Amino acid sequence: MSYTALAFTVLFIMITMFISYWQKLGLEKGIAVGTIRAAVQLLAVGYVLQAVFESRSHWLLAAIIAVMIIVAARNASAKGKGIPGIFWRMAAALLATELLMMGILLLLGIIEPTPRYIIPLSGMTIGNAMVAGGLFLTQLMRESESSRGEIETLLALGASPRQAVQGTLKRAVRYSMIPTIDGMKTVGLVQLPGMMTGMIIAGADPVEAVRYQILIVFAFTSSAAVTSMLLGLLTYRKLFSDGIGMLVRYGGRGD
Amino acid sequence: MTHILKMDRLAKSLPAKKADGGRRMLFQEVSGSVSSGETVVVLGRSGQGKSTLLRILSLLEQADSGSVELDGKSCADMEARLWRRQVAYVSQTPVMLPGSVEANLAAPSALHGLPFQREQAYALLDEAGLGSIDPGKDASELSGGEKQRLSLIRSLLLKPHFLLLDEITASLDPGSAMSIEKLLSGWRSEHGAGMLWISHDQEQAARVSSRIWLMARNTILENADTGRFFSRPGTPEGLEYLGKGPSLDEPGESGAEES
């Protein structure tokens, strides 16, 4: 696609702007900022990827994945505001997920050990794990308030903190996986996934594209599950005060 | 063996309602003790912190200062879950755990990896007037009064040294309340448990307790034998609480006919 052709796609933005202005949605500023950011970020990433593919430096590859994890962890950990050390816990969960995914893909020889495969697949894995982790935290905060009675009842019956939050954690993990599982059920029928579409447009054989998409869908499922579960194990203690194992309130009424 | 649950100079404040960031004192200088086989009823107007006191004793909340001890051992030196097995708190609003009636009854043993003593559980259920309940029924479908009784029995099955009872007969009809009183008095003589019982029912308090703590003026204002408290409360607040008015000079009569 030429840059002239690319420039014409600004038309889509103008349509959105027009609707926003016409319907007084007040989104013009957000759209403008979003447009510029999306364009600049994506173009920059394109050039960075080009450079990485050429340099074949492992350090550069590691640095890029580190940046992905840091940005994703910052984004997702905002959902767990107030929980001490949540950024590091989220980053640890994402890193462990990434290592596990790439470990399996590379050790079994499913993908080639080149940046061309590792970077996009890492990005998608970390991105999906970030969404799952964010949903997990959102639900955990909500559940730890709404299931307060259940948790305290279990504590009063002599449950350990782990036993007391077992049900709450389970519900939060389940919640965080809903989009991934729903996506898995409808993939190909409702929407053609972005990666597959991209490969087909770029000239790949559709069946070849589908094979990679299946890999992605399966990897997403386990990355979401692994991230949520790890995060649960890393955060549940923070729901309790250190001294006497009493339930802490985050964001709720102060007491 | 006789056990003693002791609290020494507990104080608790809450965040003030106004947004000035200040704190409102709930109570202070709260000291007292309960021994095995003893039932102490805590009386007092709403908002004196009676429930908070029980929650502090079950380590669900933290006091600002003061100490709590079980047989001379501070709660700070004991794992919370071990403490709570011995000092069991039954909350005013019963919470059913997900699952059936039986799952709720079996929860304490399941949590502690012990065999479920089914016979004992059902005998208690029977005694509490819940004998006709289907054990497979989803516990969340029980009525309020049924939940309250089930939650009490669930805590009894922990076989704690002390029971902290927060208005556990509040949503029961008088007959059911009586059978609970009977059940608890039987339990106390059989297992020697000590009880700290919040009640707003003066007749009940007179029936079940050997001692009364009156919470007023932000502390335990009176700590008296039940008979003495109801006949000759030692403070104007005590007289007022019993509805006798500070100026009335009632001769030594039981407070049981008061309401």
Predicted pLDDT of residue B248? 47
Across B160-186, average pLDDT: 95
Q: Which of A6-20, A189-203, B16-30, B185-199 has the highest mean pLDDT?
A: B185-199
SS (H, E, C) B136-178: CCEHHHCCHHHHHHHHHHHHHCCCCCEEEEECCCCCCCHHHHH
Q: What percent of chain B has pLDDT over 90?
A: 85
Question: How far is B204 from chain A, CA to nearest CA, in Å?
Answer: 25
| Residue B139: both structure tokens together | 């516990």
Identity of the residue in B15, B58, B93 whose CB atom sits nearest the CB atom of A156 = B58
Predicted pLDDT of residue B246? 54
Predicted pLDDT of residue A126? 94
Nearest to A17 by CA among A2, A35, A42, A40: A35
How many Å is the maximal CA-CA distance in chain B?
58
More confident position, B176 or B247: B176
Task: Assign residue B207 the CATH number of its domain.
Answer: 3.40.50.300
ipTM over 0.85? The verdict is yes
Task: Indicate if the pLDDT at residue B114 is higher than 90.
Answer: yes
Nearest to B72 by CA among B8, B158, B29: B8
pLDDT tens per residue, range A54-102: 887 888 899 999 999 999 999 999 988 888 899 999 999 999 999 999 9
**The residue type at B225:** D
- In whole numbers, what is the pLDDT of chain B averaged over residues? 90
Contact residues, chain B, for A148 at CB < 8 Å = none
Predicted pLDDT of residue A250? 66
Contacts of A213 (CB under 8 A, 6+ apart): A187, A188, A193, A195, A196
B88 interface with A at CB cutoff 8 Å: yes
Question: How far is B225 from chain A, CA to nearest CA, in Å?
Answer: 29
Contacts of B156 (CB under 8 A, 6+ apart): B88, B124, B163, B187
Total domains in the fold of chain B = 1
Across A26-44, average pLDDT: 89
What is the rounded distance in angstroms from the CA atom of residue A116 to the CA atom of residue A172?
Answer: 35
What is the rounded distance in angstroms from the CA atom of residue B162 to the CA atom of residue B38?
Answer: 9
Predicted pLDDT of residue A58? 86
How many Å is the maximal CA-CA distance in chain A?
69
Predicted pLDDT of residue A217? 86
SS (H, E, C) A183-198: HHHHECCCECCHHHHH
Q: DSSP letters of B88-150?
A: EEE-SS--PPSSBHHHHHHHHHHHTT----HHHHHHHHHHTT-TTS-TTSBGGGS-HHHHHHH
pLDDT tens per residue, range B54-71: 999 999 999 999 999 999
| Residue of B18, B84, B116, B153 to mutate for A, most A C-beta atoms under 10 A | B84
Which residues of A lie inside 8 Å of B (Cβ-Cβ)? 149-150, 152-160, 163, 167, 241, 243-247, 254-255
Predicted pLDDT of residue B245? 65
Across B218-247, average pLDDT: 89
Across the A/B interface, how many CB contacts are shorter than 8 Å?
Answer: 72
Give me the sheet containing B4-15, strands edge to edge: B23-35, B4-15, B65-70, B73-74
| Residue A220: both structure tokens together | 């997403």
Across B207-211, average pLDDT: 95
B112 interface with A at CB cutoff 8 Å: yes
pLDDT band at B259 (very low <50, low <70, confident <90, very high): very low
Predicted pLDDT of residue A174? 92
Task: Indicate if the pLDDT at residue A188 is higher than 80.
Answer: no
Min mean pLDDT across A7-16, A125-134, B183-192 is at: A7-16
More confident position, B253 or A136: A136
Nearest-by-CA chain A residue for B63:
A244
Give me the sheet containing B39-44, strands edge to edge: B87-90, B162-166, B194-198, B39-44, B211-216, B219-225
Contact residues, chain A, for B97 at CB < 8 Å = 150, 153-154
**The residue type at B109:** S
Identity of the residue in B14, B62, B154 whose CB atom sits nearest the CB atom of A157 = B154
Can you give the residue range of the structural domain that contains B164?
4-257
* Distances from the Cα of B133 to the Cα of A128, A149, B52, B128, angstroms: 47, 24, 32, 11
Residue A71 phi, psi (nearest 5):
-65, -45
Residues of chain A by 3-state class (helix, strand, coil), percent to 5: 80, 0, 20
Predicted pLDDT of residue B19? 62
Predicted pLDDT of residue A2? 84
Is the Cβ pair B111, A159 closer than 8 Å?
yes
pLDDT tens per residue, range A234-253: 998 888 887 666 777 665 43
Predicted pLDDT of residue A243? 63
Domain boundaries of chain A, sorted by first residue? 1-55, 57-239
Tally the C-alpha atoms within 13 A of residue A85's C-alpha that lie toward its C-beta: 11
Task: Indicate if the pLDDT at residue B255 is higher than 50.
Answer: no
Is the Cβ pair A245, B80 closer than 8 Å?
yes
What is the rounded distance in angstroms from the CA atom of residue B165 to the CA atom of residue B161?
Answer: 13
Task: Indicate if the pLDDT at residue B126 is higher than 70.
Answer: yes
